[in-house]
Structure 1
């Protein structure tokens, strides 16, 4: 357990947001304040202060020095003021903890309905294995929203959910359905099935009606993708019979499909997916890519998470 201090909160499990004073975390606080107000659960603000002397603790051209414990309460006051300016009365609690931000937010996720983080923290570098957003999305016990792209997209922009090749993941689909239903937005079930589209060394694709082993493989993979999206659509219609649903099955890599659609979406919902290259970092390649390149906020849903939705 990390040392630090907290202020009390009551009621249902809150929306939790991480704050470190960076531009990314300010956008996350604004997004989370509106989300908590929409859900009626209240907002818990979390400030993590690194131990003095941690590696990389100095300020550089691309990185702000990590918050020290003595500065944590000042940062908390800033975050509360920002949240209250967006949604008066939304803040139900605040926590200042000593430790790395990702680990602190993972700890907080066990008593949260949703964790919200910015896509960039006190470092301006792209997501790495040590980034707060990547660690939190990889290990949190509840869905995680990484706030990026257009945060104030006009409604009813669609909610896009990634569908993989195989059986639909219930937790991911259920979260996406709840988002779209509450926002009054259409739901887009998206699957990119090509493994080599966009590669510089790509082998020319066969004409679909031309005979041959490669053409057969292409047709099989495309058919598999269409069946996967079809099963997902059937499940969505059972969960929400009146919901407007569109499907997109595209001959591009899965991450490119989702990244392209995200620029016209209010929210992108993906499963955690894969196992990742390092123990304890269970993010698949597609999820890692959209966290870096999506044009809207991204929700990462753990496979065993309780079914919860977020406001688009």
Structure 2
């Protein structure tokens, strides 16, 4: 049975952009699309009068999104479901049987969306699969390079898929997703590693030490990418090793990208949502969709 692309809907502009992004992802993969709207309540409970409004709103949100996706992407099989559970629980449950989970992204500010703020951050931190966060206003032409005239166009090649890596870590799941996504788009994969010397030596290191450190970083990147280049020989790959001290360099590099892929490490028992400085920064500041993939 094919696993669907699951989209969390709440009626916000960003969640509708996520639904359309999910439809395009489903189309490229030949998978069904499942739209989920969650609202507070427990299955089997009698319906209190004050819950009739959210139930009506859920139906309206789902019906509107279903009609919109069916009209714009008629080749995609799409279903819609109301889930009477808290949003976090509903999304993590839906993710268990999904190929990909897609949510709207307003920088996780918690304003105007059930699936932003602490809910989305918790889902990103706990989901066992990649979660893609899409900002309001991101459309199909934005995935493509602009026309020579400067106009947006869906007939031009896809923009790069950028993957932020730390070569010393196990990034097989992240690279599997990034290379597969680049292959589906016939896009270039741009692998980026931001490195820096230890703070204690950064100001005193001689040029030879800096050069050796850069060479070591470049070698580690080449070794990490080598098996994936062999597995995806048709995917053009370029690699950048950038000396900087801030995760925001990834934000700069991703300007003009069609998708940014970042990782998040395993969550340790007893700790709250943890995404790491790079992932935290890009979720807040990157304009293109951000895919957060778990890694070991």
What whole-Å deviation, never above 9, does each CA across 1:176-231 have from its counterpart, x for those lacking one?
Answer: 1111112111111100113789xxxx998457427xxxxx4x55653442232111
**Could you tell me which of 248, 253, 278 is aligned with 1:256?**
248
Residue of structure 2 in register with 1:193 after alignment:
195
Structure 2 residue 185 is matched with structure 1 residue 183: yes
1:298 aligns with 2:296: no
**Equivalent residues of 2:32, 2:76 under 8 A apart:** yes
> In 1, are the aligned partners of 2:10 and 2:113 still within 8 Å (CA)?
no
> Secondary structure of 1:160's match?
strand
Q: Cα 1:239–1:257, aligned 2, differ >3 Å: closer, same or farther? A: farther
Task: Identify the residue that residue 46 of structure 1 maps to in structure 2.
Answer: 36
Cα separation, 2, equivalents of 1:34 and 1:24? 15
Secondary structure (helix, strand or coil) at the match of 2:166 reads coil
Q: How does 1:161-172 map to 2 (within 5 A)?
A: 161-172=163-174
Give the SS at the match of 2:27: helix
Secondary structure of the 1:37 match is helix
- How far apart, CA to CA, are the structure 2 residues paired with 1:282 and 1:230? 28
Q: TM-score, normalised by structure 2?
A: 0.79
Q: What CA RMSD, in Å, does the superposition of the two structures yield over aligned residues?
A: 3.2
Cα distance in 1 between the residues matched to 2:33 and 2:99: 10
Q: How many Å apart are 1:107 and its aligned residue?
A: 0.8
The SS at the match of 1:257 is helix
Between the aligned partners of 1:255 and 1:87, the Cα distance in structure 2 is: 36
Q: How is 1:99-138 mapped onto 2 (pairs within 5 angstroms)?
A: 99-120=85-106, 123-124=110-111, 130-138=117-125
| Runs of 4+ that moved beyond 4 A | 125-130, 218-221, 274-278
Q: Distance in 2 between matches of 1:31 and 1:70?
A: 25
Q: TM-score, normalised by structure 1?
A: 0.76
The structure in which a higher percent of residues are helix is: 2
Cα distance, 1:296 vs structure 2 = 1.0
Change (3 A) 1:206 1:140: same
- Give the equivalent residue in structure 1 for 2:207: 209
- Counterpart CA distance in 1 for 2:36 and 2:77 is 11
Q: What residue number does 2:81 align with?
A: 95
Distance 1:171 1:221, change over 3 A: same
Report the alpha carbon displacement of residue 168 of structure 1 after superposing the two structures with TM: 4.5
Hey, what's the Cα distance between the residues in 2 that align with 1:174 and 1:277?
26
- 2:143 counterpart of 1:153: yes
Moved more, 95-104 or 173-182: 95-104
Name the count of aligned residue pairs. Answer: 270
1-side partners of 2:110 and 2:236: how far apart?
40
